[in-house]
Amino acid sequence: MARYDAAELTVAAELANVDVVQVAGAAEASAYYASAFMPIVNTFRAASRQGILTQRGAKSWGSADLDAAPVTSTELEGTVYAPTSRAFTCTGHYVDTILGQYALADARSGSHNLEMSIRDEIAIGYAKYFDASCAALFSEVPAGNTVGSATSALTGPLIDAGIAALIAADAPKPYSLVIASSLVPQLMQIPEMRANAIRGAAGAGGIGGPDLGQTSTRMLVRGYANVLDVYETDEIDVDSNAVQNLMVGNGAIANPWVPLETPAGQAANKLLIDLAWESQKRAIEINATTIETWLGSVFTSSTNTWMALIETDEA
């Protein structure tokens, strides 16, 4: 039992005035700008927690003599509609965190109000978690779409080979390459990459600032070879001493999600944020939860030809 009921109720009442729906939406928006993958991943609210992604294949056409009676052709038999499909199951993901007195005091000294502090506590970690989940999908890239090795530098010809693999697979454009943050100096040694770098305070060819309609603070280059945008994140996988940089076609990765169920009905946002004042800790407890998953959008249960892997050394 609390020793000072009136004081505890006063503090709890102040916390109850926080609009958790608005804060959750702000956290999602902030995470978008902190993420390399969110701008390029197909995120959608699924009809149910378990579902199927489908992809129609190309049909073979043949020639026909339309003056003949009956029409004769080399393709008389109809082909059955048989789309490739992939099952998914959205699962729970969460973080529980504490905003203690020191954190709250530091936030206030930085001109952050309570809502901003809660948003920042969730958004950055969620962006990193989202990026790590997408980067792990490099395991779905077929062998024929893998270029480079653990001893390769990130070069223009290597990137061009990745683009060629996606073009050969008829992957929809535009393409996006997400590289490890440590490889940015190598990337900027490629003349056309520097020429197409997002320009900001650093001037022509420099990097910095969200101007020119930049879609993410993680975007480095827009329009390399008129087909490729480049992002960076420190969540790229390193496997067998090779950095697994991932290049994807438009819509190659899916992120289905379903809202959480609450006593008041379904949550309004992808993220559900609960708040509680912990009197004994003199702190605010923040519990954030999602129900979602990440997977290749098309083809088989283990491979996706709309993705290419560029293996490089650890810069």
Within a domain: residue 192?
Answer: yes
Within a domain: residue 84?
Answer: no
Within a domain: residue 81?
Answer: no
Within a domain: residue 137?
Answer: yes
| Tokens, residue 97 | 């965190």
Within a domain: residue 118?
Answer: yes
Domain that holds residue 126: 5-54+89-312
Average pLDDT over residues 223-229: 95
Q: Are 40 and 231 in contact (CB under 8 A)?
A: yes
Residue 215 pLDDT: 55
Residue 85 pLDDT: 80
Distance CA(90)–CA(102), nearest Å, equals: 36
Q: Fill in the amino acid letter for 12.
A: A
From 305, 306, 28, select the one nearest 176 (Cα to Cα): 306
Q: How confident is the model at residue 39 (pLDDT cuts 50, 70, 90)?
A: very high
Comparing 42-46, 101-105, 199-203, 275-279, the range with the smallest average pLDDT is 199-203
pTM for the full predicted model: 0.85
Task: State percent of the chain over pLDDT 70.
Answer: 83
Q: What's the CATH number where 140 sits?
A: 3.90.1690
Residue 301 pLDDT > 70? no
Residue 278 pLDDT: 85
For 98-145, the pLDDT digits (tens) are 888 888 888 788 777 888 888 888 999 999 999 999 999 999 999 999
Mean pLDDT score of the chain: 85
Q: How confident is the model at residue 2 (pLDDT cuts 50, 70, 90)?
A: low
Average pLDDT over residues 199-226: 63
Within a domain: residue 42?
Answer: yes
Residue 204 pLDDT: 42
Residue 114 pLDDT: 81
Q: How many CA atoms lie within 13 A of 164 on its CB side?
A: 9
Rounded to whole angstroms, what are the CA distances from 186 to 36, 68, 156, 237? 18, 62, 10, 18
Q: Are 205 and 196 in contact (CB under 8 A)?
A: no
Rounded to whole angstroms, what are the CA distances from 235 to 197, 239, 297? 21, 12, 21
More confident residue, 82 or 187: 187
Residue 214 pLDDT > 60? no
More confident residue, 192 or 3: 192
Looking at the DSSP bridge assignments, the partners of residue 278 are 283
Number of domains in the chain: 1
Alpha helices in 35-113 (DSSP H): 101-109
Residue 203 pLDDT > 90? no
Residue 189 pLDDT > 50? yes
Within a domain: residue 171?
Answer: yes
Residue 217 pLDDT > 70? yes
Residue 174 pLDDT > 90? yes
From 296, 311, 174, select the one nearest 245 (Cα to Cα): 311
Residue 102 pLDDT: 86
Rounded to whole angstroms, what are the CA distances from 172 to 43, 169, 248, 282, 298? 17, 9, 9, 53, 12
Within a domain: residue 241?
Answer: yes
Residue 208 pLDDT > 50? no
Residues recorded for the chain: 315
Residue 59 pLDDT > 80? no
